[in-house]
Amino acid sequence: MESVRKIVGERKRMLESSERRLEDIFNTSYVQPHKILSERNDGFRVFRTTYGESKANIRRYAYSINVKYPDLKDQYVGIAVDNSQEWIDIFWSILASGNKPYLINHRYPRELTQKIISRLNVKYLIGMKDMGYEGELILIKDLNESCPEDYVFNWANELAISTSATTLKEKIIFYTGKELSSQILNYEYIYNQNKIIAHRDQGNVKLLAFLPLYHVFGLMATFLWFTFFSCTLIFLRDYSSKIILKTIKKHRVTHIFAVPLFWQSVEKEIWKQVDKQGPKTRKTVENALQITSKLQKHGHNIQTSRRLLKRITKSLFGPTVRFCITGGSFIKEDTLRLINGLGYYLVNGYGMTEIGITSVNLALPFEDRVKTTIGKPFPSVQYEIMDDGELVVKGESVAHKMLINGELIETDGTFKTNDIVKCENGNYYIVGRKDDLFIGDNGENISPDDIEAMINVSCEKYTVLNFNNKLTAIFQMSKYISKAGLDRLNKDVSNAFASLNSSMKPQQCFVTYDNLMRPTEIKVSRKGVLSRIESGEIKLFNPNEVSFKEELTANAEILNKVLQLMSETSGKAEIDPNAHFMLDLGCNSLDFYTLVYSINTTFGIDFKFDNDQNAYTAVGIAKRVEELL
């Protein structure tokens, strides 16, 4: 711990005594060239890149940009790659070349990304291959000029990042080194509050680079915070559950920061594997979790929990994972209790693109750790709750300017989050979004987020909102839904509604064939759904108005194998051959990656999902496999 404390103090003094530009963050992060910056594997070999090797790449790339593209000065340049060592090298080299990186979100709809590229006047993108964006592509392999040792770079000091598109607005947020330095310097406070976060395995802190680096959570909590202290990032070769778990154990990962979807997928996988062994095993595990929870409440080390539940933890993350954070949206307390009960320290955090990461629950006692609180604000910000319950964040780490639908807005370090919060004993809890709250018959504010978290149904997207002054649930269904799929949905909805108390129970229920998300959204916007219902873009039906598509047929041998793979992935014993993998079976995007991996491994093909909805059914997949064989 002394060495960790020394490193934290030294890095803090270095950054505080600088001008706190992005160049200063880079120079402070790259002071130990022998340290391992990143690791990845191809299934057999492990590839490592040191900070020294990365710095040499960055200098070569930046110098090549200056030499080969002399007109490229003080412009925004897009980063056209996914999470990788190359992403890091491109990020710093763009800045060192005197230009500003635009962190392209490759999961955004292309329509939205292209609007932002045009808005920022991005003429060049740097990457390893053409990803379909407009603008001239600069290939990394062509940035091969040898950089003279005495060459002096003229660094830029700004980056652009896009926000979540649920506001239906084109929104670009700008940061300089000053705001990002303020966020990084919160680390001393975090370390002093909870030294578990600084746990090292054989001298190394290894963080799984699960979160996209072009997202504010990935940018700050994964990339900038951890490379600032010369830690190691572990990159994934794909996002199937098997590869994720193998990577965590192979590279001895110590830290995992992810969104609730990841942790809920882990929870589902744990119980799926337990239930395969029968009700007796389920009861044994439940009893063991009660024991481990009590032991941790009474001060026993979390290692005790891992030993008692070794069969599960060995097949899950293994023994090295020490500190985990979830953030980005609501997480259930049951999920927090399960992961912590297994001996993996998991807490909730909070942040937004406009304000960065501003708090995390740093509690040590078990009962405080498993609460859904986002903790207390970091030193770089202050939280203020307005009369209507809205959270306002103020501080030096708030973004300095924003571009909303082309209108430039300079901030004064204050941002209204639109989140409704409550504060108990100094800890803050997210209640819901300001525009989404519904006033029940008893006068109480009802959060649709809480209701959605309690509904677990067999469809990909659903929302709960205030429609015509009634609490309303809307479920998106595939046009290809089978009768069995609809029966499952009806059963799931009935069971879910029965578990809700009367004030939280939706007063009406509709289904739709239309996508609840616009092409420019990355999650469902209730405000957007309501406006599109009003315009007729989304058409609602009563559940009894649903029709069925004529069922397809496929090669029996291939179909049976596909059904087996879908069953293993979804955890459902019986699957209708025409059931939609996501809409009918309730699987998510991580399950999607796992299924694709299993199909390609089993059949030796390169199968990809596309917009053909039949490709999400066992029959449709079997027909596609037959074509590719």
Distance CA 156, CA 176 (A): 9
Query: What is 450-502 written as a DSSP string?
Result: HHHHH---SSS-EEEEEETTEEEEEEE--TT--HHHHHHHHHHHHHHHHTS-G
Run of H or E including 65: helix 51-68
Distance CA 99, CA 66 (A): 10
- Is residue 321 within 8 Å of 255, Cβ to Cβ? yes
Q: What are phi and psi for residue 69, nearest 5 degrees?
A: -130, 70
pLDDT band at 609 (very low <50, low <70, confident <90, very high): low
Q: Which of 219-228, 339-348, 351-360, 601-610 has the lowest mean pLDDT?
A: 601-610
Predicted pLDDT at 458: 65
Q: Is 39's pLDDT higher than 80? A: yes
The tens digit of pLDDT for each residue in 150-174 reads: 999 999 999 999 885 554 568 899 9
DSSP-based three-state secondary structure for 407? strand
Q: Which of 165-169, 269-273, 287-291, 553-557 has the lowest mean pLDDT?
A: 165-169
Q: Name which residue leads in pLDDT, 157 or 279.
A: 157
DSSP-based three-state secondary structure for 222? helix
Predicted pLDDT at 442: 58
Q: Is 455's pLDDT higher than 50? A: yes
The closest of 623, 602, 622, 616 to 242, measured between CA atoms, is: 602
Q: For the residues 563-590, what does the mean pLDDT come to?
A: 78
Predicted pLDDT at 193: 92
The tens digit of pLDDT for each residue in 309-355 reads: 888 998 899 999 999 999 988 888 999 999 999 999 999 999 999 99
Q: Is 361's pLDDT higher than 90? A: yes
Q: Which two tokens stand for residue 283?
A: 């009861």
Query: What is the amino acid identity at position 263?
Result: W
Q: For the residues 426-450, what does the mean pLDDT come to?
A: 78
Predicted pLDDT at 611: 47
How high does pLDDT run on average in the chain?
A: 87
C-alpha dihedral over 210, 216, 219, 221, to 10 degrees?
Answer: -70
Predicted pLDDT at 554: 75
The tens digit of pLDDT for each residue in 105-141 reads: 887 777 788 889 999 999 999 999 888 888 999 999 9
Listed in sequence order, the residues at least 6 apart from 557 whose beta carbon sits closer than 8 Å to its beta carbon are none
Predicted pLDDT at 522: 57
Q: Is 449's pLDDT higher than 80? A: no
Q: For the residues 238-255, what does the mean pLDDT come to?
A: 92
Q: Which of 74-83, 299-308, 452-461, 531-540 has the lowest mean pLDDT?
A: 452-461
Predicted pLDDT at 499: 78
Distance CA 42, CA 37 (A): 17
Q: Name which residue leads in pLDDT, 237 or 452.
A: 237
pLDDT band at 1 (very low <50, low <70, confident <90, very high): very low
Q: For the residues 92-104, what does the mean pLDDT come to?
A: 98
The closest of 593, 582, 591 to 239, measured between CA atoms, is: 593
Predicted pLDDT at 514: 86
Predicted pLDDT at 23: 98
Q: Name which residue leads in pLDDT, 180 or 557.
A: 180
pLDDT band at 479 (very low <50, low <70, confident <90, very high): low
The tens digit of pLDDT for each residue in 305-319 reads: 888 888 899 889 999
Q: For the residues 236-247, what does the mean pLDDT come to?
A: 90
Q: Is 596's pLDDT higher than 90? A: no
Predicted pLDDT at 2: 47
Predicted pLDDT at 610: 54
Percentage of the chain exceeding pLDDT 90: 51
